[in-house]
C-alpha cells in the first residue's frame, strides 16, 4: 500500500473541500421545491385541531390566545357588570390591550347589533342596547378605524323605522358611525367551504368585505333556538334566512365559519327571558346590567347561556360550533375575568 506524504495529504484535503463547495453551489443554484400555498377561502378556521364529530370539544385553546396584539396574560372571556355601557365595554377591552388589539389603523369596521323589530324601544330587550353599540363605534374610531358601519336586517317593520325606534341610529351617528341600509342588490352569492350542511348563501357584501366584524347581539329567548346570542345574530347578514331554518343549529354554526367576528360583545344589560325574539311585554325582561366580551364567539355564547340557567350544549348551535372546532364551549377550561365597573 502506498504511503501518503504530507504534501499528498494536503492535496487530498483541498480536493475534498472544493468538491463540497461545488456541491453546495450546485444545490443553491438548482431549482427549489415549489411551496404549497394555502387555498383562499372566505374565512380561516382556528389552527387548533377540531374535535371529533362524535363528541364535544373540551380542551381546545381559545382563539383569544392567538389574537394579534393580545397580551399573553389576557383572559379568554371578560364579564363586566355595571350601570354605564361605555365604561363596561371599555374596561372589558382593556383586559385584551384595548380596542386597538382588534381594530387596526384605517380598518373598515362593521358593528352588527340585533335590530329585529321596528315597534319596540330598547327597554323591551328585543334590540341591542343603543349606548353599547354607540360605545363600540366610538372605541373603534379611537383605535384608528377609517370607517365604521352599523346595519341589520329587521323582520318587523322597515330598517329605517327600526334603526330610529331602537335608539341605535342616534347613538351611532353621535359617535361618528354610519347607519347603513341593506338593499337586496348588495347580497352576493357566497360559498361556505367549511360548512357542514350549509354550503352557500347570499351574504351582505359590506359584511364580507369588512376588515373587522364586531358582533353585538342582545341576549334573549328565541322560540326556535331557545336563545338568540352571538352566532344566531349573524343570520341578519344573509338574505334567505328561511333556508337557514332547515337544520337550524348546524346551519347557524356553518354561517359562523363564513363571518368569523373578531370580537363578540353580548348585551345582557336587559335580557328577554320569554316570548322572544320580538317580545313586547316588560314583564318578560330581566335587568342584568352585564356584558360578555370575547374574541371567541363560542365562549361568549356559552357563558351567556348560563345567564338563562342553561348549559352551553343545551343550545344546538353552540354544540355544533364546538364540534366543528370554532371555539371553546367548556367554561371550566377558560380563563374568565369578572369586573364590577363603577361600584
Q: What's residue 72's pLDDT? A: 67
* Range list of H helices, the chain: 6-29, 85-94, 130-142, 159-165, 168-174, 205-209, 230-233, 241-244, 248-259, 297-306, 316-323
> Which residues have a Cβ under 8 Å from the Cβ of 325 and sit 6 or more positions away?
45, 46, 48, 49, 50, 51, 57, 60
Q: What's residue 242's pLDDT? A: 84
Q: What's residue 246's pLDDT? A: 87
Q: What's residue 308's pLDDT? A: 98
Q: What's residue 132's pLDDT? A: 98
In whole angstroms, how large is the CA radius of gyration of the chain? 26
Each domain of the chain, given as residue ranges in start order, spans 76-340
Contact call for residues 297 and 262 (beta carbons, < 8 A): no
CATH superfamily of the 76-340 domain: LarA, N-terminal domain (3.40.50.11440)
Q: What is the pLDDT along the chain (343 residues), one digit of tens a residue?
A: 444 444 443 443 343 434 333 333 333 333 333 232 233 233 333 333 233 322 333 333 344 434 445 566 899 999 999 999 999 999 999 999 999 999 999 999 999 999 999 998 999 999 999 999 999 999 999 999 999 999 999 988 899 999 999 999 999 999 999 999 999 999 999 999 999 999 999 999 999 999 999 999 999 999 999 999 999 999 999 999 888 888 999 999 999 999 999 999 999 999 999 999 999 999 999 999 999 999 999 999 999 999 999 999 999 999 999 999 999 999 999 999 999 998 6
CA 275 to each of CA 122, 131, 154, 281, 284: distance values in angstroms, whole numbers, following the listed order: 15, 24, 17, 8, 7
Q: How far apart are CA 80 and CA 339, in angstroms?
A: 5
C-alpha cell at 275: 316570548
Contact call for residues 193 and 200 (beta carbons, < 8 A): no
Long-range Cβ contacts of 184-187 (<8 Å, 24+ apart): 184/239, 187/238, 187/239
Contact call for residues 106 and 144 (beta carbons, < 8 A): yes
Q: What's residue 13's pLDDT? A: 39
User: 37-59 burial by CB neighbour count: b if 16+ within 10 A, else e?
Assistant: eeeeeeeeebebeebeeeeebee
The pTM assigned to this predicted structure is 0.80
Q: Which of 131, 218, 119 is nearest to 161 (CA)?
A: 119
Q: How far apart are CA 225 and CA 7, in angstroms?
A: 88
Q: What's residue 69's pLDDT? A: 55
Amino acid at each position: 500500500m502506498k504511503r501518503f506524504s504530507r504534501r499528498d495529504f494536503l492535496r487530498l484535503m483541498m480536493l475534498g473541500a472544493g468538491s463540497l463547495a461545488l456541491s453546495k453551489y450546485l444545490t443553491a443554484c438548482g431549482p427549489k421545491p415549489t411551496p404549497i400555498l394555502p387555498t383562499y377561502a372566505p374565512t380561516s378556521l382556528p389552527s387548533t385541531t377540531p374535535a371529533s364529530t362524535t363528541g364535544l370539544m373540551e380542551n381546545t385553546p381559545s382563539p383569544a390566545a392567538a389574537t394579534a396584539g393580545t397580551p399573553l396574560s389576557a383572559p379568554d372571556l371578560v364579564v363586566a357588570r355595571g350601570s354605564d355601557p361605555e365604561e363596561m365595554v371599555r374596561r372589558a377591552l382593556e383586559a385584551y390591550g384595548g380596542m386597538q388589539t382588534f381594530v387596526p389603523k384605517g380598518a373598515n369596521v362593521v358593528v352588527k347589533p340585533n335590530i329585529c323589530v321596528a315597534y319596540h324601544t330598547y327597554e323591551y330587550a328585543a334590540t341591542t342596547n343603543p349606548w353599547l353599540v354607540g360605545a363600540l363605534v366610538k372605541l373603534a374610531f379611537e383605535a384608528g378605524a377609517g370607517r365604521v358601519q352599523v346595519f341589520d336586517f329587521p323582520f318587523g317593520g322597515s330598517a329605517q323605522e327600526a334603526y330610529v325606534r331602537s335608539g341605535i341610529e342616534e347613538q351611532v351617528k353621535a359617535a361618528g358611525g354610519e347607519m347603513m341600509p341593506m338593499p337586496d342588490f348588495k347580497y352576493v352569492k357566497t360559498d361556505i367551504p367549511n360548512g357542514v350542511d350549509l354550503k352557500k348563501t347570499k351574504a351582505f357584501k359590506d359584511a364580507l368585505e369588512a376588515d373587522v366584524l364586531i358582533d353585538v347581539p342582545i341576549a334573549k329567548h328565541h322560540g326556535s333556538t331557545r336563545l338568540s346570542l352571538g352566532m344566531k345574530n349573524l343570520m341578519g347578514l344573509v338574505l334567505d334566512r328561511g333556508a337557514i331554518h332547515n337544520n337550524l343549529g348546524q346551519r347557524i354554526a356553518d354561517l359562523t365559519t363564513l363571518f368569523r367576528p373578531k370580537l363578540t360583545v353580548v348585551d345582557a344589560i336587559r335580557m328577554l327571558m320569554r316570548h322572544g325574539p320580538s317580545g313586547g311585554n316588560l314583564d318578560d325582561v330581566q335587568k342584568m346590567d352585564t356584558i360578555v366580551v370575547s374574541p371567541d364567539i363560542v365562549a361568549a355564547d356559552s357563558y351567556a347561556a348560563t345567564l338563562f340557567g342553561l348549559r352551553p350544549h343545551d343550545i344546538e348551535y353552540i354544540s355544533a360550533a364546538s364540534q366543528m372546532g370554532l371555539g371553546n364551549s367548556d367554561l371550566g377550561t377558560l380563563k374568565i375575568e369578572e369586573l364590577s365597573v363603577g361600584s
